[in-house]
Amino acid sequence: MDNPDRLLQATVLAIGDELILGQRLDTNSQWISEQLLLLGVRVVEHMTVADDARQIAGALAHLSQVAPLLVTTGGLGPTLDDLTRQALASALGESLVEDTQAMEWLDAWFETSKLPMPESNRVQTLRPASARVLPNTHGTAPGLAATLNQCEIFCLPGPPSEMRPMFERELHKICKAYSSQVRVATLKTVGLAEARIATKLAGLMRRENRVLVGTTASDGIISIRIRCEKRSDESLFEETFDQVRQKLGTYLYAESDASLPEHILGLLREHHATITTAESCTGGMLSASLTDCPGASDSYAGGWVTYTNSMKMSQLGVPERVIEEHGAVSAQCVEHMARGAQARAGTSHALAVSGIAGPDGGTADKPVGTVWIAHAWESDRMDARCFRFTGDRAQVRTRATTAALAMLRQNMLGIKDAPLLWQFNASP
């Protein structure tokens, strides 16, 4: 490479009617972009087009001028709507020729799989005259590599199980030379609004900085990503990282891409602690978020979804008068739920959630989005907080799940005076 500090750039093209019509989610482009970045190659543009030879050829011609590396997925199958090879030939101004090696691979594939080869598969042995075929160890569609406008084009099959091994074999070779250039880090916070973080990090987030800092928000979890693209900027990268960390304070929960439930299970494991859950409005989302993580059974005993008042009373021992006097969405009710669950499951911690997820059930006093959450630990420690979540039913439930885990984290780490996003000072 002429300039060792220049990051190689690339583009990604996904091909398929099912993608463009929204019938299938394209996960290949994300995977390829992520893998390329780890190899020190930055993707600068994604495109998706239909199984249409003219459109594919147009996209190849365009993207070959944007960056010196182009990876495409899809359109290499045996059926009439697979047109990537024809389009590549047309973009190159060449005709298709039969490749003897591809022919051998295909014969061997059907030999091994004991299936007769449909005539339609023959088309998979064709390549544009100047292209070379890439072996497919997991399916019948060989890939193609060619050079157009000084851009190296790699056409990979669409199914991830075939595309990924081919990418790893073919692209790693190409990218290896650049892989040491880039540094990327992710930090994660819970309980702070994105705009508050933006204010705290203002100077660091300027787009002209050599070390780039960006944020992404998702229901109370904000990810902060730090990136530098030149080896000479490494010390600046470290400095930026430290500054970001300091400014986030106690809201920072991970210096990695860990999910909040993963982090919480790690904390519980460290403290040799166990936990149970008692859920009303979240209806199992809190327990599902914990059990989503492998190894959850080390710390999570199980829990209750007490959706009706009678389940709250019969299964967790919430006194009827508490519900009569204060309602099911109250500090008193979630405190009884938490203590009842903790006693029955025999765990060191318990989280209880009760609220109004909507769309119905709101009142002037307790509008939709009002949720009480209690955290009980040891024999006598209790924290109950009220939240007013914005958003629809799914958001209120997701945000309540996050808030419950964030409360647990603050109490386990002894963090005080750090109100969480959406926390609301209701009189109990």
217-246: contacts with its own copies (CB under 8 A): 217-219, 223, 225, 227
Residue 75 CA to its chain's centroid (Å): 26
- Find the shortest distance in angstroms from Cβ 343 to its own copies: 11
Select 77 or 142, whichever has its Cβ closest to its own copies: 77
- Find the shortest distance in angstroms from Cβ 410 to its own copies: 19
Q: Does 262 bind its own copies (CB under 8 A)?
A: no
Q: Does 392 bind its own copies (CB under 8 A)?
A: yes
Scanning 10-18, 169-177, 233-241, 403-411 for contacts with its own copies by CB under 8 A, the matching segment is 10-18
Scanning 145-153, 173-181, 204-212, 247-255 for contacts with its own copies by CB under 8 A, the matching segment is 204-212
Angstrom distance (rounded) from CA 179 to CA 184: 12
Q: Does 344 bind its own copies (CB under 8 A)?
A: yes
Cα-based torsion angle of the residue sequence 208, 211, 212, 218 in order, rounded to the nearest 10 degrees: -150
State which H helix or E strand residue 132 sits in: strand 132-134
Q: Does 25 bind its own copies (CB under 8 A)?
A: yes
Angstrom distance (rounded) from CA 89 to CA 68: 19
List 189, 287, 330, 332, residue binding its own copies (CB under 8 A): 287
What's the sign of the alpha-carbon dihedral 52, 103, 164, 154? negative
Select 137 or 147, whichever has its Cβ closest to its own copies: 137
List 2, 150, 173, 207, residue binding its own copies (CB under 8 A): 207
- Find the shortest distance in angstroms from Cβ 87 to its own copies: 12
Q: Does 45 bind its own copies (CB under 8 A)?
A: yes
DSSP annotation of 119? G
Angstrom distance (rounded) from CA 1 to CA 291: 48
| Cα dist from 43 to 34, 37, 202, whole Å | 9, 7, 26
DSSP annotation of 202? G
Q: How does strand 151-156 pair with strand 69-73? A: parallel
List 8, 15, 29, 404, residue binding its own copies (CB under 8 A): 29
Token reading at 371: 């949720």
Q: Does 79 bind its own copies (CB under 8 A)?
A: yes
- Find the shortest distance in angstroms from Cβ 130 to its own copies: 25
Scanning 29-37, 145-153, 263-271, 409-417 for contacts with its own copies by CB under 8 A, the matching segment is 29-37
Q: How does strand 41-49 pair with strand 8-15? A: parallel
Position of tokens 């973009």? Answer: 91
Angstrom distance (rounded) from CA 353 to CA 323: 14
State which H helix or E strand residue 45 sits in: strand 41-49
- Find the shortest distance in angstroms from Cβ 75 to its own copies: 11
List 119, 365, 380, 417, residue binding its own copies (CB under 8 A): 119
List 48, 149, 243, 411, residue binding its own copies (CB under 8 A): 48
Q: Does 269 bind its own copies (CB under 8 A)?
A: no
Helix (H, G, I), strand (E, B) or coil at 16: coil
Binding residues for its own copies, rule CB under 8 A, total 121
List 232, 246, 256, 308, residue binding its own copies (CB under 8 A): 308
List 285, 331, 350, 353, residue binding its own copies (CB under 8 A): 285
Scanning 20-28, 167-175, 348-356, 374-382 for contacts with its own copies by CB under 8 A, the matching segment is 20-28
E runs forming strands in 174-219: 183-190, 212-218
x/- site string to its own copies, residues 360 to 389, per CB under 8 A? x---------------------------x-
128-187 residues in contact with its own copies (CB under 8 A) are 138-140, 159, 161, 165, 186
Angstrom distance (rounded) from CA 151 to CA 166: 19
Helix axes 160-175, 28-38, angle to 10 degrees: 20
Question: How many residues does this entry show for the chain?
Answer: 428
- Find the shortest distance in angstroms from Cβ 386 to its own copies: 12
Token reading at 316: 């967790």
Token reading at 404: 């419950």
